[in-house]
């Protein structure tokens, strides 16, 4: 449809990989997160306090010294002796050199709130034809940091610099696009130029960065085009890129938007990082919501409010996209025969044609090895699990390897009498067969693999 961001913004459009990743988030193909990491809605693989101290490099030390010299200069409030400052800074270290000084100087002006000095310095560079790409990028970034100081005349100057930049360079690198977009988002040409910059990244063989996506969303909200902002957000989510906490900062500054944001998270199957969850904890109360840090059980029950999370929902259309993306390219791809043989794969196809669809797919080996090693009760465990689903009237498929035929005859006879059983060669990987059978069976299938 015309409103689909994948159609409206071809260059920013979701890669198929991004769409598939989001669909995977909505299925049962999930990682089992350790309980101690499931705090609130957040998950991260790095716990507070885990980071180790690292030694400060000479470049970092030099930068701090050079930055302090610039900071002391800025306190004077004028640029009369900036050439002398430059010599002093270059003699104090190697991080800021004659090639990077201009960009860093403007960046430090922005960081320390000296907008006027940074602006005047850039204008002086520009008037002499000495404004490099780095300086342009930092200037636009600085303007974004002080939107209240960017009036009509400043915006007009920004657009002039922008047009000159595009005349000089056909394609801008990702970093420059990010910086320029921050400033362009404040101007009257934001609607045409933000997509242009996104498109430029695409044509350079890259994909738009998370920072660029966030800038696109922010510019749309800044100019009160909420419809376009949500379209950008959908395209961002479908890109497969990491969702930055900054996005939630921007969205939650809008009025009456929390319910819509939560529905957006649900629709795209997004799991918040710790940093993003902290943004919600801080800003959600301004929308009338109560927030509290909590743990969520494996069954989806919140220990704070005692309510349960809604189960994932996957439409038939989404599942078909997920299935088509996996069955041929992933499971029957060029390297599949490193894990099986053409004859075995063909045999499995014919087997599935006879037994599918099923309600449950059991990983026979993993169920038997649930205690980390095959115990004498391994076959009994498989029989026990099989009998459980038999009692529920389910149609069962068991996938394993041929050495399972050497297990207890009584137990295996029960399994084979009550389930369809496919045993791969002992040298074959059985995981592709399990995934293939599960995806072929469709939505609603239960998969039991015995892995904690």
* pLDDT by residue, tens only, the chain of 452 residues: 333 433 444 333 344 445 544 544 444 433 333 333 333 333 333 333 444 456 779 889 989 999 999 999 999 888 999 999 999 999 999 999 999 999 999 999 999 999 999 999 999 999 999 999 999 999 999 999 999 999 999 999 999 999 999 999 988 999 999 999 999 999 999 999 999 999 999 888 888 999 999 999 999 999 999 999 999 999 999 999 999 999 999 999 999 999 999 999 989 989 899 999 999 999 999 999 989 888 888 888 988 888 888 777 777 787 777 777 776 665 555 555 456 677 887 888 899 889 888 899 998 888 888 755 555 677 888 999 999 999 999 999 999 888 888 888 899 999 999 999 999 887 777 677 888 888 877 766 665 555 44
pLDDT score at 54:
63
Q: Is-contact 380 408, C-beta < 8 A?
A: yes
- Centre a 10 Å sphere on the Cβ of residue 175 and count the other Cβ atoms it contains: 13
Q: Is-contact 28 443, C-beta < 8 A?
A: no
Q: Distance from CA of residue 195 to its chain's centroid? A: 20
128-to-3, 78, 155, 184, 233 alpha-carbon distances in Å? 46, 19, 20, 23, 40
Say if strands 360-363 and 396-401 run parallel, antiparallel, or are unpaired: parallel
According to CATH, the topology of domain 316-448 is: Rossmann fold (3.40.50)
| Distance of alpha carbon 303 from alpha carbon 307, whole angstroms | 8
Enumerate the domain spans of the chain: 1-29+36-43+222-311, 58-206, 316-448
Helix (H, G, I), strand (E, B) or coil at 295: strand
Closest CA to 433 of 336, 303, 360: 336
- Degrees (nearest 5) of the Cα angle 97, 103, 109? 110
CA atoms within 13 A on the CB side of 194: 26
CB contact set of 122 (below 8 Å; sequence gap of 6+): 106, 131, 135, 136, 138, 139
pTM of structure: 0.67
């Amino acid at each position: 449809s015309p409103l689909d961001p994948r159609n409206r913004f071809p260059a920013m459009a979701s890669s198929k990989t991004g769409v598939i990743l989001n669909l995977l988030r909505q299925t049962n193909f999930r990682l089992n997160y350790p309980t101690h990491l499931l705090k609130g809605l957040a998950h991260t693989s790095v716990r507070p306090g885990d980071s180790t101290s690292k030694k400060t490099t000479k470049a970092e030390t030099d930068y701090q010294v050079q930055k302090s010299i610039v900071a002391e200069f800025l306190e004077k409030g004028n640029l009369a002796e900036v050439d002398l400052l430059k010599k002093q800074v270059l003699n104090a270290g190697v991080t800021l050199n004659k090639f990077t000084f201009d960009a860093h100087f403007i960046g430090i002006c922005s960081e320390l709130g000296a907008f006027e000095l940074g602006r005047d310095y850039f204008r002086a560079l520009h008037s002499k034809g000495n404004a490099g790409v780095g300086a342009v990028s930092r200037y636009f970034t600085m303007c974004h940091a002080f939107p209240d100081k960017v009036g009509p005349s400043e915006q007009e100057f920004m657009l002039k610099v922008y047009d000159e930049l595009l005349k000089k360079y056909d394609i801008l690198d990702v970093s420059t696009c990010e910086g320029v977009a921050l400033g362009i988002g404040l101007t009257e040409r934001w609607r045409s130029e933000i997509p242009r910059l996104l498109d430029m990244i695409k044509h350079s063989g890259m994909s738009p960065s998370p920072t660029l996506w966030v800038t696109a969303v922010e510019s749309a909200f800044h100019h009160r085009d909420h419809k376009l902002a949500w379209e950008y957000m959908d395209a961002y989510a479908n890109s497969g890129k990491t969702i930055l906490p900054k996005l939630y900062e921007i969205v939650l500054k809008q009025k009456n938007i929390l319910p819509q944001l939560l529905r957006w998270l649900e629709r795209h199957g997004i799991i918040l990082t710790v940093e993003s969850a902290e943004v919600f904890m801080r800003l959600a109360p301004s929308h009338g919501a109560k927030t509290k840090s909590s743990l969520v059980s494996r069954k989806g029950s919140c220990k704070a409010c005692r309510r349960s999370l809604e189960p994932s929902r996957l439409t038939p259309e989404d599942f078909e996209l997920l299935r088509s993306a996996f069955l041929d390219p992933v499971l029957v791809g060029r390297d599949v025969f490193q894990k099986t043989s053409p004859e075995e794969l063909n045999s499995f196809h014919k087997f599935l044609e006879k037994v599918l669809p099923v309600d449950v797919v059991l990983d026979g080996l993993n169920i038997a090895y649930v205690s980390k090693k095959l115990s004498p009760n391994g076959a009994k465990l498989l029989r026990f699990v099989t009998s459980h689903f038999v009692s529920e009237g389910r149609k069962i498929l068991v996938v394993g390897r041929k050495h399972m035929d050497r297990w207890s005859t009584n137990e295996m006879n029960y399994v084979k009498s009550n389930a369809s059983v496919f045993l791969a060669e002992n040298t074959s990987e059985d995981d592709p067969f399990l995934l293939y059978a599960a995806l072929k069976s469709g939505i609603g299938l239960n998969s039991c693999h015995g892995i904690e």
